[in-house]
A and B are shown apart, each in its own frame.
Chain A
Amino acid sequence: MSTATQPNIDAFRTETRAWLEEHCPESMRTPVKGFDDYFWGGRQPKFKDEDQKLWFENMKSKGWTVPRWPKEYGGGGLSKAEYKVLKEEMESLGCRTPLFSFGIHMLGPALLNFGTEEQKKEHLTQIANGEIWWCQGYSEPGAGSDLAGLQTSAEDKGDHYLVNGQKVWTSYADYADKIFCLVRTDKNAPKHTGISFLLIDMKAEGVTTRPIKLLSGSSPFCETFFDNVKVPKENLVGTENEGWTIAKYLLTHERSMIGNVAKMDKTLDKYAVDAIGKVNGKLADPVNRVETAKWLIDEAAFNLTLERALDEAKAGSPPGAKSSFFKYYGTELNKRRYELMMSTGGFDNLIWGENAEEGKTPREFCRTKANSIEGGTSEVQLNIIAKHILGLPKS
């Protein structure tokens, strides 16, 4: 940011703060507790209450459901500096995200980079306005870590593709209106080069879906089946058989999201002290005291490393395979945090209860086990680091 724009930025900050103060209902300034507290959009939008709806409508009118996207696609058209101000001001008031969707965080960036003008106009606008709930169709029962080994096929039938196969770990597919999918369009090509990126309507004939119950007791994921589903040709994103490029781009994006270690309302030392108390000024359990200290140091080092990577990027150094490194370290760190919480939390954390609020920590603990599996396992990230950063030879 050049100093010449500083007065403009200051003015934008003042305006933004005033606007948020006026347009964000009080109840939308409280922490989000679960799935229900987010508005996800969709053909049949479900608002939890009037405040949630009002907040969404207000933000939509400014294009601030997707502040950085161009205005012609329903975005706010904000510069990087303005976006930073908006985020800071929303954070300081505690404003919730008005619209949460995989459309915003995953499909959107792919379309902005690889979509045609028609696709951008249609789909980005619908995402920005919360009109379509998108889900992701990447993994298959036989293609997890070996994602490029996917078998769901899309056969060229002239004016349409005929899709057959099965996807798994499709997030909220049971609520979603549409799915962005990786499909095989060339069975004879080497596995990375016969893949295409396709958009499919979940209401199309032949699409069925079934939720999967997880260790944590919740079912955020589904299995989704395609049985002779006809998909119009214009739903292909990018070039046929070059979908792997888009997939890689999105995975990098996804990894950097998963790799961020979320801030908690209580630091780990406070959590431990509240749970087991102190003796002579030291945490009552000496082993947990050491492990907690070690974890806090690693957390601080991780956050400093994220900060350093941003500063290096600003100074012109390329990010490279860093997303793998942050994904690996960040998710392992998060798992360690919950292991420690289960340990210091004691018997209270054994109570599963009847709902997510009651058995919060044990359920979240179970959920963290997915951190190092989803978006590419820790082992896959280590493979990428070894190959692309350290230059070690292929096995």
Chain B
Amino acid sequence: MELRNESVKMPEAAADDTEILNPDHDQDDAETDKASKIAVQTESLSVFFNERPAIEDISLKLRRNRVTAIIGPSGCGKSTFLRALNLMHEMTPKSRVIGRIRIHGKDITSSSSVDVRKKVGMVFQKPNPFPTMSIYDNVVAGLRLNGKRRNSELDEIVERNLKHAGLWEEVKDRLKAPALSLSGGQQQRLCISRTIAVNPEIILMDEPTSALDPISTAKIEELIYNFKSEYSIIIVTHNMQQAARVSDSTAFLYLGKLIEFSKTRRMFTNPKEKLTEEYVTGKFG
């Protein structure tokens, strides 16, 4: 990861903290209970790899049942940010996190990663179904591995979640076929059913369509739109059109720092920061 924080002078992003913390501040005055509307909140979150900062001092409040997109050029730390939210950074040796992450108000930075990840599911860049398992087994893998084994119940869960991910009609006659026999787009939807089968409240998506063709991409984007009523979704994408299409609010990261966090519409039409404007209009990145 290429980071040259010291050499680049940031625009006055930090000074605007209070402003960008709350993209909806101009509309939220009617809310009586703001806290319950927040799905994920980070407070001065920094992640270090080998004592080098990958993201620095990011404070965000992401609302429930909304889609939040995280955009930025390669190496800006958007995946790092996402992976910190379900403590996946622990997989990387010599990583360290400071700051707080609150999921529905509860600080998770020191909780058990297993508990966190049951609530915060993740869909990865490349479809990664378990290669030794069938389609059926993939969907219930999370439940089975956590000890749920009643078969009648599982059948129902498989059907419900495959339907939910829009895959049921395509695979219902070959549930016992190996997962790898599916096409890339189908595999990704299988991974999504696998993720929602454990009943998460929040779904993290790390460039979920970057390995897929446009038609499969469209199907996934449709899913994301439909999922809004049930889940809070955070999606990392390098595709700004995608961010514009699927998300309600967007955060722009650059060189590990949060530059701007606004309503998506505003971000792409009338950004507050000059850097954001340059990025969304394709002047760099």
A binds B: no
Interface residues of B (CB under 8 A from A): none
